[in-house]
């Protein structure tokens, strides 16, 4: 993937350089990458696709039973810290539902909060997906899942943002993008969920990710208008909007992976887009792999479109 000159020099200085290559995880499938900078490392919290033949109930669909955490100091060499949360050890998750979809993780007061969607045992909680939390003292775990999911959340793909004033927000999707304030405990909603306003009215199915830069709140999301998902963004001056639809971060895949799902981080002065594609499974787009490319901004704060690279 593309590194700008400064970050390439930084990597050269701090490491013996290795070739940066997409996809970044090659010994297993990985998708829906939520990347976070904790200390001097990037931690990656992706979904974990498994091959369809390993699960006959999910032959042509997503099949996801657990989560691994990875870390890297140079975005090239990744350490797999192993499984941190698995479906049949989460008290509220329907056993063998293979629905451990896109997660996120954030640090607050020295604790790491790992948010993940899945289908609950109790269908009165939500008929489809809801979102739960597991907590650890270190980003690589061990994580302990809460007994119950977060009350009041119906949907998938949690994303958490903590604003400069300490207020935390939870974002998720269910046909629209929803958001609510989180309490200081990071486990309960502190406001009624709202549908974020002034976004596309159709084709917003999943994967919201909010970040802030220079006072601009960027709400980024996959949007499907044609065949596959395109990464787009809207900007606002408040974490709950309203937002103004502003542009495209990455065009839809010409080779047909239906989903794309991403996160955006700044690491060692360079911004990066983490996203996925079915590089290692060209015939089956529910077995995906995480990629990284550099991301940059124009002087007015708009995002320059990212052209995916393989190497």
Question: Does residue 80 carry a catalytic annotation?
Answer: no
Question: Does residue 122 carry a catalytic annotation?
Answer: no
Identify any residues that bridge with 114 across adjacent strands, giving them in sequence order: 105, 134
In the range 185-244, which residues lie near ligand FUB by CB under 6 A?
206-207
How far apart are CB 276 and ligand FUB at their closest, in Å? 7
- The answer to whether 36 and 265 are in contact (CB under 8 A) is yes
* Location of structure tokens 């239906």: 258
How far apart are CB 189 and ligand FUB at their closest, in Å? 20
Number of residues that bind ligand FUB (CB under 6 A): 12
Identify any residues that bridge with 82 across adjacent strands, giving them in sequence order: none
How far apart are CB 104 and ligand FUB at their closest, in Å? 11
| Member of 85, 90, 145, 156 binding ligand FUB (CB under 6 A) | 156
In the range 38-77, which residues lie near ligand FUB by CB under 6 A?
47, 62
Q: How far from 195 is each of 61, 104, 110, 117, 179, CA to CA, in Å?
A: 28, 20, 31, 18, 7
Adjacency order of strands within the sheet including 194-195: 156-162, 168-173, 177-182, 194-195
- The answer to whether 237 and 215 are in contact (CB under 8 A) is yes
For residues 154 and 261, which CB has a smaller minimum distance to ligand FUB in the complex? 261
How far apart are CB 73 and ligand FUB at their closest, in Å? 27
Q: How would you class 94 by CB atoms within 10 Å of its CB: exposed for 0-12, middle for 13-18, buried for 19 or more?
A: middle
The three-class DSSP label of residue 11 is: helix
Would you state the structure tokens that stand for residue 201, as one six-digit string? 């009215």
Tell me: does residue 262 bind ligand FUB (CB under 6 A).
no
In the range 19-38, which residues lie near ligand FUB by CB under 6 A?
31-32
**Half-sphere exposure of 28 toward its Cβ, with a 13 Å CA cutoff?**
18
Catalytic residue among 32, 104, 157, 285: 32
- The answer to whether 145 and 133 are in contact (CB under 8 A) is yes
> What is the C-alpha to C-alpha distance for residues 65 and 275, in angstroms, rounded to an integer?
20
Catalytic residue among 157, 206, 229, 232: 206
For residues 31 and 219, which CB has a smaller minimum distance to ligand FUB in the complex? 31
In the range 100-129, which residues lie near ligand FUB by CB under 6 A?
101-102
In the range 271-300, which residues lie near ligand FUB by CB under 6 A?
none
- The answer to whether 20 and 4 are in contact (CB under 8 A) is no
For residues 96 and 137, which CB has a smaller minimum distance to ligand FUB in the complex? 96
How far apart are CB 108 and ligand FUB at their closest, in Å? 23
Q: Which residues here bind ligand FUB, judged by CB under 6 A?
A: 31-32, 47, 62, 101-102, 156-157, 206-207, 259, 261
Active-site residue list: 32, 206
């Amino acid at each position: 993937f593309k590194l700008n000159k400064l970050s390439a020099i930084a990597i050269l200085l701090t490491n013996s350089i290795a070739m940066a290559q997409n996809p970044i995880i090659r010994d297993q499938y990985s998708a829906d990458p939520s990347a976070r900078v904790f200390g001097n490392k990037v931690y990656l919290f992706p979904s974990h696709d498994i091959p369809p033949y390993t699960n006959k109930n999910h032959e042509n669909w997503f099949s996801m039973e657990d989560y691994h955490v990875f870390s890297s100091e140079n975005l090239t060499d990744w350490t797999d810290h192993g499984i941190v949360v698995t479906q049949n050890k989460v008290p509220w998750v329907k056993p063998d539902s293979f629905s451990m979809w896109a997660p996120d993780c954030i640090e607050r007061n020295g604790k790491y909060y790992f948010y993940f969607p899945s289908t609950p045992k109790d269908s009165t909680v939500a008929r489809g997906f809801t979102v739960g939390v597991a907590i650890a003292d270190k980003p690589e775990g061990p994580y302990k899942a809460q007994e119950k999911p977060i009350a009041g959340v119906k949907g998938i793909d949690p994303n958490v943002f903590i604003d400069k004033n300490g207020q935390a927000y939870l974002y998720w999707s269910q046909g629209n993008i929803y958001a609510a304030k989180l309490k200081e405990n990071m486990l309960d909603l502190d406001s009624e969920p709202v549908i974020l306003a002034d976004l596309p009215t159709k084709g917003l199915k999943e994967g919201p990710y909010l970040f802030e830069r220079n006072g601009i709140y960027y709400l980024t999301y996959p949007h499907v208008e044609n065949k596959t998902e395109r990464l787009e963004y809207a900007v606002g001056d408040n974490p709950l909007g309203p937002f103004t639809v502003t542009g495209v971060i990455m065009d839809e895949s010409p080779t047909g992976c239906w989903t794309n799902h991403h996160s955006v981080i700044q690491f060692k002065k360079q911004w990066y887009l983490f996203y996925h594609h079915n590089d290692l499974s060209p015939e089956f787009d529910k077995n995906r792999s995480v990629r990284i490319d550099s991301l940059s901004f124009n002087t007015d704060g708009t995002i320059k479109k990212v052209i995916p690279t393989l190497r």
